[in-house]
């Protein structure tokens, strides 16, 4: 996993989770407490409510990305940039300042006037964005998005035919489209990927967001740090049947889970609480070995392994050896044990027995055993559907 230096702030596996607080100079923004048009008031908010409560990064929005509003032109965003620049000049505390924009022209001007990094909500739909960020040696968050400056995050099928050919057994998934969208127009050396949680398109469902969250570890396969923006999102609120105002606890639970699954930055309006939740997730994350030449990958499923194999130009068949499954099994007789052992499945213990093997071995065993019944039938059903 690559570590990204954002104006001296390291972001990556070897560093604590970073908290990105939000400041808006856009009157359209739906979250009133973060909206300011006076630089002095905005700077005070940054010092007291954002950095003062634990934000490492302050993300400044020039317009609301809500799809119900008209998209501003680069010229209109630039008209609002003065307020943003005057604000960061008045801030007394130490923070990394990110400009949220979809336009390379705006990013260039902001980086030239004191901003440290870019949050591109259109995922390099402006093809000049990578070049601008590289010219300024600036970190850039790349949100999964179609190549369309007016439709941030509105992912549709990116390359289903190619993906289906490479993985014929995998059913179509919105999370796959999100993953693939992040590759559009490439990456810079200082890219941070954002899986675009939220209602960016009419077709996207809450189940799509939940699946993407469930598969968050797969996004480590890009090899770049991950940002998540999940604060009080609908896909979490629905689980607990909470309103936006009541949704802080579900956001904090998801924050800990996201960091444990590999997220490196959490974007939020609830800075102090989110910081604490992120630190809990970081404290209890998987302990992975890392040395100068060796990095243990965070892999728990074949799909997660496939992401890394593909990035490293390997054979996808190897992914089945990267994850294993273990079972407690009751009622195995001697013949069953012999059959399993002959297929390379480890069996130990009396009754119940401990049964385990890499997923590739379990799948091969399920294919080789023809219509078994009883205990072996239950096992092969599990191996065929749950691995």
Written as one string, the DSSP assignment of 19-86 is EEEEEE--TT-S-GGGB-SSHHHHHHHIIIIIGGGT-SEEEEESS---TTSPPPPHHHHHHHHHHHHH
Please answer whether residues 114 and 88 qualify as being in contact, where contact means their C-beta atoms are separated by less than 8 angstroms: yes
Compute how many other C-beta atoms are within 10 angstroms of the C-beta atom of residue 171.
Answer: 7
Q: Is 318 exposed, middle or buried (0-12, 13-18, 19+ CB in 10 A)?
A: middle
**Cα(322)–Cα(302) distance, rounded to whole angstroms?**
7
How far is it, in rounded angstroms, from Cα 159 to Cα 152?
18
Per-residue pLDDT, averaged over 265-288, amounts to 96
Report CA dihedral (62, 65, 67, 72) to the nearest 10 degrees. 30
Using 50, 70 and 90 to split pLDDT, how confident is the model at 172?
A: low
DSSP for residue 295: B
E-assigned strands of 126-264? 139-143, 191-194, 227-228
Identify the pLDDT of residue 199: 80
pLDDT for position 28 = 61
Looking at residue 298, the DSSP 8-state letter turns out to be -
Distance CA 236, CA 250 (A): 6
Cβ neighbours of residue 92 under 8 Å, at least 6 residues apart?
Answer: 43, 47
Average pLDDT of the residues in 22-33: 71
Question: Residue 159: its pLDDT value, please?
Answer: 55
Residue 164 pLDDT class (50, 70, 90 cuts): very low
Report phi then psi at 129, rounded to 5. Answer: -60, -45
- Cα distances (angstroms) measured from residue 200 to each of 120, 280, 295: 14, 29, 35
Q: Summarize the confidence of residues 341-355 as an average pLDDT.
A: 95
Mean pLDDT (whole number) for 286-297: 91
Q: Higher model confidence: residue 230 or residue 204?
A: 230
Contact 354, 365 (CB under 8 A): no
Percent of the chain with pLDDT over 90: 75
Helices and strands, number each (H, E), in the chain: 14, 13
Which pLDDT does position 357 carry in this prediction? 95
Fold of 4-283: TIM Barrel (3.20.20)
CATH 3.20.20.20 domain extents, the chain: 4-283
Q: Which residue has the higher pLDDT, 140 or 371?
A: 140
CA 357 – CA 218 distance, rounded (Å): 22
User: Which of 105, 104, 150 minimizes the C-alpha distance to 127?
Assistant: 104
Please indicate, yes or no, whether the overall pTM of this predicted structure exceeds 0.75: yes
User: For a pLDDT cut of 70, what percent of the chain falls above it?
Assistant: 92
DSSP string for 209-240: HHHHHHTGGGGGGGSS-BEE--TT-HHHHHHH
Give tens-digit pLDDT for 306-346.
999 999 999 999 999 999 999 999 999 999 999 999 999 99
The pLDDT value recorded for residue 115 is 97
pLDDT digits (tens, 9 = 90+) for 222-234: 999 999 999 999 9
């Amino acid at each position: 996993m690559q570590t990204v230096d954002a104006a001296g702030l390291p972001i990556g596996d070897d560093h604590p989770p970073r908290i990105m607080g939000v400041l808006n100079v856009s009157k359209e923004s739906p979250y009133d407490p973060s909206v300011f048009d006076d630089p002095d008031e905005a700077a005070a908010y940054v010092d007291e409510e954002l950095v003062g409560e634990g934000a490492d990064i302050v993300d400044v929005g020039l317009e609301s990305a809500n799809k119900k509003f008209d998209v501003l032109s680069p010229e209109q965003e630039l008209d609002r940039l003065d307020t943003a620049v005057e604000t960061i000049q008045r801030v007394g505390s130490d923070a990394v300042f990110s400009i949220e924009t979809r336009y390379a022209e705006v990013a260039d001007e902001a980086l030239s006037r004191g901003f440290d990094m870019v949050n591109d909500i259109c995922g390099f739909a402006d093809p000049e964005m990578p070049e601008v960020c590289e010219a300024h040696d600036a970190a850039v968050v790349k949100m999964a998005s179609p190549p369309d400056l007016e439709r941030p995050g509105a992912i549709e099928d990116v390359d289903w035919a190619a993906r289906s050919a490479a993985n014929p057994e995998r059913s179509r998934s919105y999370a796959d489209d999100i993953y693939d969208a992040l590759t559009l127009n490439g990456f810079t050396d200082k890219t941070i990927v954002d899986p675009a949680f939220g209602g960016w398109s009419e077709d996207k469902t809450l189940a799509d967001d939940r699946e993407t969250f469930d598969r968050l570890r797969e996004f480590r396969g890009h090899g770049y740090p991950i940002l998540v923006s999940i604060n009080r999102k609908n896909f979490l609120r629905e689980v607990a049947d909470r309103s936006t105002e009541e949704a802080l606890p579900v956001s904090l639970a998801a924050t800990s889970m996201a960091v444990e699954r590999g997220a490196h930055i959490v974007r939020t309006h609830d800075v102090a609480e989110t910081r604490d939740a992120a630190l809990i997730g970081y404290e209890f994350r998987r302990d992975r070995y890392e040395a100068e030449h060796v990095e243990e990958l965070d892999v728990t499923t074949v799909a997660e392994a496939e992401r890394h194999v593909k990035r490293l130009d390997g054979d996808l068949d190897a992914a089945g050896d990267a994850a294993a499954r273990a079972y407690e099994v009751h009622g195995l007789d001697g013949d069953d044990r012999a059959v399993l052992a002959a297929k390379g499945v480890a069996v130990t213990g009396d009754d119940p027995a401990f049964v385990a093997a890499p997923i590739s071995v379990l799948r091969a065993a399920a294919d080789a055993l023809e219509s078994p019944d009883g205990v072996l039938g239950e096992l092969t059903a599990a191996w065929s559907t749950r691995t």
